[in-house]
Homo-oligomer: A and B are copies of this chain.
């Protein structure tokens, strides 16, 4: 469990990790029946409900509701929360999550670690951010995450009991095994049992997925895509990736790597990408490409604003380009517009292919904001099939940096609020 010294000691051998994780998952609280699972999801998505309302919604008898709520109370997941207002007849009782029930959301980025602790409805109770270098590997990064969760829980002014933790990482994941698979920017994480190592330490179920899928889930839970069941979440950060929501579920593809749009070829003669190919979308636009192009432009004397910033800080970032564009620097504006065109043309093709109900743009480069968004919109609306774009909004992420942690908590809540 979350003992202070435990999180700092050497990690156990993988065999021990798998075995202990199995024990932790078996002991943890979770729904036992489909009706219990439906009750928990209703409480999560709609808030406290009376027993009478639960019976109506689920189309089961009040006796069944009473029995299932009784069992959820024994499992320490739900509890009675006072009398409901009268609907005539016998007064019903409000059912809610146990007040101590908590989830953790862990969003591991290349250089930052975002952690949040939520209640049973996945509302954030406390959050923390740390600077990390993901390349230091799981033995350095995961203990930091565990300490942050412990500190957040300890700082809550309420009793707390962790029933699940979700984790997003910036690389491909084998979702069913809970391990990163050949993640390019995370050497040392390949095949590491992240899910089960954390489950063992936290004593609760853990789910692992890549950061983009997790952010898509976050926007679906409480962001701009709340009412969308089929949408694309496009993350433009250092790299570019896409979460695909199909019928309310993340579509991961046959090998779990669906949505890897950063390496779609957009210009066969374009710059060489980190992956070794030429002209990938990510090599043309995204945080790393913007920083590279900004540095070239500054040194070539095409942008006094960027040159000044480069001389000041020694490096340029995508944020510098955004700031220069915001102040009207023509070269920076051109870079953002060209990038929007590239991304837009790629998305236009994907819209014709998958016909989504919405596109959400997130990630740090999305901070470039409406200049970028208007370019993307212009290309997508002009180059996609009219039938596909008729009612399709293209919008910026609503949750911003919280999308990952909320989505991670949402992901594991799906497992806890489900009967196996």
Contacts and interface: CB of A to CB of B under 8 A. Distances in A.
Contacts of A94: none
Interface stretch (A213-221, A343-351, A364-372): A343-351
Interface in A323-359: 345-346, 348-350, 352-357
A54 to B, nearest CB: 25
A20 to B, nearest CB: 29
Interface stretch (A6-14, A68-76, A258-266): A258-266
Contacts of A291: none
Given A246-B251, A253-B388, A387-B181, A353 B263 contact: no
Nearest to A384: B263
Contact of A388 (B246, B251, B260, B392): B260
Interface in A207-263: 230, 242, 244, 246, 251-261, 263
A230 B246 contact: no
B345 A257 contact: no
B256 A352 contact: no
A277 interface: yes
B182 A257 contact: no
A289 to B, nearest CB: 17
Interface in A254-284: 254-261, 263-265, 268, 277
A172 interface: yes
Contacts of A264: 348-349, 352-353
A146 to B, nearest CB: 29
Contact of A230 (B242, B253, B352, B354): B253
Contacts of A345: 265, 268
A349 B345 CA distance: 12
A277 to B, nearest CB: 7
Nearest to A259: B353
B258 A355 contact: yes
Contacts of A157: none
Contact of A257 (B251, B259, B277, B355): B355
A28 interface: no
A147 interface: no
Given A253-B356, A260-B352, 17 more contacts: A182-B387, A230-B253, A230-B254, A242-B353, A246-B251, A253-B355, A253-B388, A254-B357, A255-B355, A255-B390, A258-B354, A258-B355, A263-B385, A264-B352, A265-B383, A268-B345, A349-B349
10 contacts: A172-B387, A252-B355, A253-B355, A254-B356, A254-B391, A257-B385, A258-B353, A260-B388, A264-B353, A350-B353
Interface of A: 172, 181-182, 230, 242, 244, 246, 251-261, 263-265, 268, 277, 345-346, 348-350, 352-357, 383, 385, 387-388, 390-392
